[in-house]
Structure 1
Amino acid sequence: MTMGSRVYLARLAALPVFDPNGDRVGRVRDAVIRLRTTNRPPQVVGLVAEMALRRRIFLPIGRVTSMDAEAVVLSTGMLNLRRFEKRQNELLVLEEVLDRRVTVEPEDRQGDGQVGTVVDLAMELNRNNEWLITRVAVREHTGRLARRGHTYQVDYDRIRGLVGPTDTQGTSNLVALLEQMRPADMANALQDLPDARRNEVAAAFSDRTLADVLEELPEHDQVDILVHLNRERAADVLERMDPDDAADLLAELPKTEQSVLLDLMEPEEAAPVRQLMKYNPGTAGSVMTSEPVILTPDATVAEALARIREPELSPVVAAQVFVARAPSATPSGKYLGMVHFQRLLREPPSSMLGGIVDNDIDPLRPETNLTEITRRMATYDLVAMPVVDGTFRLVGAVTVDDVLDHSLPRDWRDRDAHDDEPAANLWGTRQTPGAAS
């Protein structure tokens, strides 16, 4: 895809945006089209880019000098950093047009037409230097569950129903685009959708994906999405969340609903969540993960390295191995110490963990408060600390992301809570669609 006669808008999603100096501005999150009178095709007026701190800004299409499969490049570094707000008669392509059910008129304009779903929109540059929607990629509806309809392209003027009630909009293509993003970016994109659309798209994710995304959303959005799922599905999603995140989410629900969902979860998945919910808020017990990497002292360095390479482990959990007597699940046998992954890389693969364990840092207790946890982690430059009970059994580990999550304001994930924050380096203003850039 190059800056030329035709550009497909859905393919721009998540591409990095650079200024003329090669400095990264953000990532493309959507494209803005302006509806026009009569049957004239919509005009693409700009892109929506996401910058640091999840701020979405408007990039006028006239300031884009190139678009290809790797990046979008701007002609200037002067940007309006005000948060993007959609104007009247504007639509967001990925959010509001993708997956919409439409009717494709026959070429001779006779007959009822073919029903299909919008997969992508193509824009082209006309002689007036305007980017107009000229082609629509549509997947046909076959009426057969076992057969996926083929995808084809038609001229824009043959499409009917591109703008209409949201109940004609599906989710499959938007979900496919979102699943290419990191969970935090997916969560951010969901916050931009209307509540009903957000819940519909979230429900279309797999259990694993939805679990990852919920962990990145503000609490009120987590609760709203969860309560719109049927209870069996909600329990399945909770099972795939980290136990500490599942416990935090359940704590936002009424007691009766907590009990119902915990009972629907598999007993072995619900057990650590129940245990975490017993600890007082703001303590090590309430913020720790109950599933750190635990191995016995007779395990080898090679076994430890294989364990921390498992892709489902987060970087902070995989940064160290905790060594304890059997059993190796929490609550473990007697805690012996920990081995950082850098130490593992320096030791022979056949070495046993019991011989290289670091035990000169006192572990935390479940009742240790966040202030003390933060002080000790900063003192020893640690990304995780063990938590032991009164009999010195390992019951979990507090990681640096746990501490940050619970030290920041409760609404830190909610972009709307920070809309009034000043935008630094503000240049220019958003132009009226169609004006010269």
Structure 2
Amino acid sequence: MAAGAPRIFVSHLAGVAVFDPNGDQVARVRDLVVMLRVGRRPPRLLGLVAEVATRRRIFLPMTRVTGIQSGQVLTTGVLNVRRFEQRPTERLVFGELLDRRVTLTETGEEVTVLDLSVQQLPARRDWEIDRVFVRKGRGGAFRRSKGETLTVEWSAVTGFSLEEHGQGAENLLATFEQLRPADLANVLHHLSAKRRAEVAAALDDDRLADVLEELPEDDQIEILGKLAEERAADVLEAMDPDDAADLLGELPEQDKERLLSLMKPADAADMRRLMAYEEHTAGGLMTTEPIVLRPDATVADALARIRNPDLSPAHAAQIYVCRPPDETPTGKYLGTVHFQRLLRDPPYTLVGSIIDDDLQPLAPDAALPVVAGFFATYDMVAAPVVDESGSLLGAVTVDDVLDHMLPDDWRETEYDLDGTDDGTDGTADDRRDGTADEGTDERADDGTDGEVRADGA
């Protein structure tokens, strides 16, 4: 980037695509890595934490960044694909610096960090944080202060080097508000336990429920354990019943019963019903909240139900036609109507007249291989689970089947999507060539170790 280039606020870099010289997207920005320096000297921006297609987070040094423009980062095309590991002397901008309470040196007033700006130094390849955008007044994650905002020089504030307790999270969340739950879960997983708890506390119940469903089991238990019991019960109610039941099943019996007692009776009953089944069976995999309609409902009624934006694509793929009652366990299960069939028939058509009753539904004790075979044989994305009396108990979706067939640590494992070696074995961190500053460690770049070109060269 040319000397005198305008400063860039870091909030504009969250999730930005990273492109190689050929114009191919190779990663997305997930954080920035800086090194604090002694005195009031601005921190040096060492590089970016970038997430490649396999969800591996790598370090992209600023020496490999050739431009930041129009919402994109341009690189030389050479990537070191070893997993990023934070060093003791480094700080993550999104994860550790945003939302901090710092002090204005001139007045001694405490302010909250909303954003930071970075700028390339003239005639050099180095970048540093030069300005801090702050808000006066006390505003936490649950309320937005109306205090004055201002932009000051880095040297005009102190407090970034101190461990902060009770750090807010609203601005960190704002940078990732467009992320899918699975991607936000990946962000949380890579934060410190302290920061993870703060971000979880700042999320609303529905958003936190969606994110918890995508986190590894250890993270789920850790976050749930740090919530107030009443809120933990509310979050469990907001989760998909099968995921909530799986999480409850991992808790000590005393904690599980206490949370169930705080839940709404109907939700607690669903949880107990699901936990009664073996984990790797259709009953243990199913959700108790499929779309259920009576046979005299119309196609228009069915389409209105599947338009619900809170439904996953798999849950919205079909409806289940049953006699009353409509809540699981239902009356007699009559059959399924697939989404495509709903699009082919007039809105006034009764769903009872277009049901598919050819496929045998799953029994609640059907083992995981049987369930997987059903999906593979009939190209289904969801399937009904029906008991011996013919009542619909719930529905299994293909994502739940995959979740239980993959290794336990699949959420923490990067998969080689293009069939090539990821180059991680025996590689060294991508390093910058340069001297240490004030005796502190700095990433160096020798331009060789463990590198691969993003364009495959």
Q: What is the TM-score when the length of structure 2 is the normalising length?
A: 0.88
Shift in Å, 1:435: 5.6
Shift in Å, 1:194: 1.4
State the percentage of identical aligned residues.
52
Shift in Å, 1:97: 0.7
Evaluate the alpha carbon distance shift between residue 346 and residue 416 of structure 1 in structure 2; reply closer, same or farther with a 3 A threshold: closer
Partner deviation per Cα, 1:373-402 (whole Å, 9 max, x = no partner): 111110010001111011111110111011
2:333 paired residue number: 335
CA contact (8 A) 1:330 1:395 kept: yes
Tell whether 2:395 aligns with 1:397. yes
Shift in Å, 1:310: 0.5
Shift in Å, 1:52: 2.6
CA contact (8 A) 1:28 1:49 kept: yes
2:279 paired residue number: 281
In 1, the alpha carbon distance for the partners of 2:415 and 2:346 equals: 51
In 2, the alpha carbon distance for the partners of 1:434 and 1:5 equals: 26
Once the two structures are superposed, the pairs formed by residues 270-349 of structure 1 within 5 Å of their partners are 270-349=268-347
SS of equivalent residue, structure 2 residue 251:
coil
Once the two structures are superposed, the pairs formed by residues 169-318 of structure 1 within 5 Å of their partners are 169-318=167-316
2:129 paired residue number: 133
SS of equivalent residue, structure 1 residue 290:
coil
Tell whether 2:356 aligns with 1:355. no
Evaluate the alpha carbon distance shift between residue 212 and residue 195 of structure 1 in structure 2; reply closer, same or farther with a 3 A threshold: same
CA contact (8 A) 1:19 1:75 kept: yes
In 2, the alpha carbon distance for the partners of 1:364 and 1:146 equals: 50
Bigger drift between 161-170 and 180-189 goes to 161-170
Partner deviation per Cα, 1:387-425 (whole Å, 9 max, x = no partner): 10111111101110110111112222235999xxx9625
1:87 paired residue number: 87
In 2, the alpha carbon distance for the partners of 1:254 and 1:300 equals: 46
Paired letter, 1:406:
H
In 2, the alpha carbon distance for the partners of 1:236 and 1:136 equals: 37
In 1, the alpha carbon distance for the partners of 2:138 and 2:235 equals: 31
Q: What is the TM-score when the length of structure 1 is the normalising length?
A: 0.92
Aligned residue pair count: 428
1:96 paired residue number: 96
Tell whether 2:108 aligns with 1:113. yes
In 1, the alpha carbon distance for the partners of 2:246 and 2:17 equals: 34
In 2, the alpha carbon distance for the partners of 1:417 and 1:358 equals: 37
Partner deviation per Cα, 1:325-348 (whole Å, 9 max, x = no partner): 122111111111111111111111
CA contact (8 A) 2:372 2:401 kept: yes
1:366 paired residue number: 364
Shift in Å, 1:309: 0.6
1:109 paired residue number: none
Query: What do you get for the CA RMSD once the two structures are aligned?
Result: 2.4
CA contact (8 A) 1:187 1:214 kept: yes
Bigger drift between 91-100 and 10-19 goes to 10-19
CA contact (8 A) 1:63 1:74 kept: yes
Which runs of structure 1 show a deviation greater than 6 angstroms over 4 or more consecutive aligned residues? 143-146
Shift in Å, 1:129: 3.0
Shift in Å, 1:138: 0.6
Partner deviation per Cα, 1:302-354 (whole Å, 9 max, x = no partner): 11111101111111000111111122111111111111111111111111111
Shift in Å, 1:229: 1.2
Bigger drift between 42-51 and 192-201 goes to 192-201
In 2, the alpha carbon distance for the partners of 1:149 and 1:38 equals: 28
Q: Extract unaligned runs of 5+ from structure 2.
A: 433-442, 448-457
Q: Extract unaligned runs of 5+ from structure 1.
A: 107-111
CA contact (8 A) 2:115 2:133 kept: yes
In 2, the alpha carbon distance for the partners of 1:129 and 1:143 equals: 37
Paired letter, 1:75:
T
2:452 paired residue number: none
Paired letter, 1:124:
Q
In 2, the alpha carbon distance for the partners of 1:69 and 1:181 equals: 20
Evaluate the alpha carbon distance shift between residue 247 and residue 40 of structure 1 in structure 2; reply closer, same or farther with a 3 A threshold: same
In 1, the alpha carbon distance for the partners of 2:370 and 2:444 equals: 57
Paired letter, 2:135:
R
2:436 paired residue number: none
